[in-house]
Copies of this chain bind each other. A is one copy, B any other.
Amino acid sequence: MTPETSENEIPQETGEVLEVDDELMQDIEELVRSKSDYLLLNIIQDLRPEDIGHIINRLTPEEGVYVFGMLPNTVASGALLELDEIHREIITTRLPQERLTEIVGEMDSDDAADVVGELTEERAESVLETMNVEESSQVEELLRYDENTAGGIMAKEMAVVQKNDTVKKAISVVRKLARDIKNIYNVFVVDENGILLGAIALQDLLLYTPNKRVQKIMDAGYKTVTTDVDQEEVARLFSKYDIVSLPVTDTAGKLLGRITVDDIVDVLEEEHEEDVARITGSVSGATTQHSPVHMAVLRLPWVLMTLFLQLIAGVVVHAFDQTLSQVILLASFMPIISAISGNTGLQSAALIVRGIATGQVDYRRWWQPLRRQMITTFIVGGACGIALGCIGWLWHGTPLFGVVVGSSMFISVNFSGIIGTVTPMISRSLGFDPAITAGPFETAFQDIIGITVFLSLATLMLQWL
C-alpha cells in the first residue's frame, strides 16, 4: 500500500548474510573439490570476511590457497586476519607479491604491521617497497615497537584536530576518515607540536554548535599511555575505565597512534591462553592448530624439566627405603598426600598470580595475602588431615598410623599453601612473570616437601608402628 512496503525489502535482501554451519561447510568443500568457481563465488559473496577466514581454516592448506585466490582484495584482507598460523603462512607465501601488497594495503596499519611482521625478511621488504609510501612508513614505524607493548598494538589511523579547530572542522575530519576506516570513536586534540591535549567522543561532537572550539569541549583528563607500556597493563586500563579508544604518545606526550578495544579483546584472549598454558606447564601459543610434531617439540623441554625435578622426589623416597620396606602401607598414602598438597599449592599460586595481574594483590604487602592463605589452608589441611587420619587408622588398624598420615597431610598442605602464595610474589618482586612459578615446578616442589614431611614423620614414629 505505502511505497515503504516495497522499499522495506531492499535492505533486508541485500543485507542478508549467511551463517556458517556444517551443511554449508560441506557444500563449500564439495564445490572446492569440483572447482565450481562460479557457484563458490556466489556463496562467498553472501559471507562476512571473518567467516570466510574461518571456512578457509577448516579446508586443507591447498584448498585454502585456492579459495583465497578467488577473493576480492577488500574481502581477502579481512579473511587473512582470521586465518590460523598454518593457513596464513602458506597463503602469504604462495600469493603473488603484488597481490599481497594490495591486500596488506587494504588493512589498518596495526593489522598490516602484524601481517608484514610475520613474513620472511625478503618478502616483507618487497611488500613494503611496493606499498604506498605513507602506508609503508607507518608499518615500518609500528614494526619497531615490541609487539607486546602499546606501540606494538596501536594503529596510526585516527581522527586528529588542532586545538584551535572548530567542531565543524572535527566533523569534516571524521567524515574524510569514515570512508576508509571503521572504528572511529573519538577525535584527538593536539597542539602545534603534536602534543596530545585531550579527546572528544563522537557523540559529544554532535552536542555542540559547529563554531565551538574543540579545545573548549574536549576531555583533557582522557587516559593515555606511552608506547612502551605492556599490553596487559593497557588491557587493565581499558577494563577499569571502560575505554574504547586509547591514545598512545611518546614520553614527551606527542600523539603517535591509538589502540581500539577490539585489539584489547584479542590481548585478553591471548593472556588467557598464556595463563592456562603456564599453569598446565605448557607453552603459550601452542594451540590445536600446530602440527602434532611441533606441539611435541614445544612441550618436551618443559616435560623433561619436570621429570628431572620429580627425580628429586624419587631420591627423597629412596632415602627412606628402610622405613618404607618395614611399613609398606606407607607407599599407598604417598600419591594421596602429594596430590592434595600439589593441588593446594597450585590453587594458592593461581589465585595470587591472578590477584597480582588484576591489582587485587600487592606483592609489597606480601603478609596480607599470606596471612589469609594460611588461615584457609589451616582449615583445609585440618579437614583433610582428620579425614586421612581416620582412613589410615582403619586401614592399618593402629591409631598411631592414622596420626602419622593425618599429621603429614596437615603439615604438607600448610607448607604448600605458604609456598604457593610466596613464590609468585617473590618472582614478581624480582621482576619475573609470577605465572612462571605456578605449574609443574610448583607441583614438583610440593611433591618433594610432601614426601619428605610424610616419610620423616613415619620414620620418627617407626618404632611404634
Contact = CB atoms under 8 A, between A and B. Distances in A.
Interface of A: 4, 7-8, 11-12, 14-17, 22, 48, 50, 54, 57, 82, 84, 163-164, 171, 174-175, 177-179, 182-185, 191, 197-198, 201-204, 206-207, 215-216, 218-222, 235, 238-242, 244, 261-262, 264-266, 268-269, 271-273, 275-277, 279-282, 286-289, 292-293, 295-297, 299-300, 303-304, 306-307, 310-311, 313-315, 317-318, 321, 324-325, 328-329, 331-336, 338-340, 343-344, 346-347, 350-352, 354-355, 358-361, 364, 369, 371-380, 383-384, 387-388, 391, 440, 443-444, 447, 451
Nearest to A51: B240
A13 to B, nearest CB: 8
B317 A335 contact: yes
A328 B384 CA distance: 28
Contacts of A222: 15
Nearest to A304: B387
Q: Which 8 residue pairs are nearest across A and B when measured between Cβ atoms?
A: A15-B220, A292-B375, A296-B379, A314-B332, A242-B262, A15-B221, A11-B220, A288-B355
Q: Which secondary structure dominates where chain A touches chain B?
A: helix
B376 A197 contact: no
Contact of A11 (B215, B242, B276, B287): B215
Given A15-B221, A303-B344, A332-B318, A182 B206 contact: no
A336 B321 contact: no
A280 B369 contact: no
A241 B17 CA distance: 13
Contacts of A277: 350
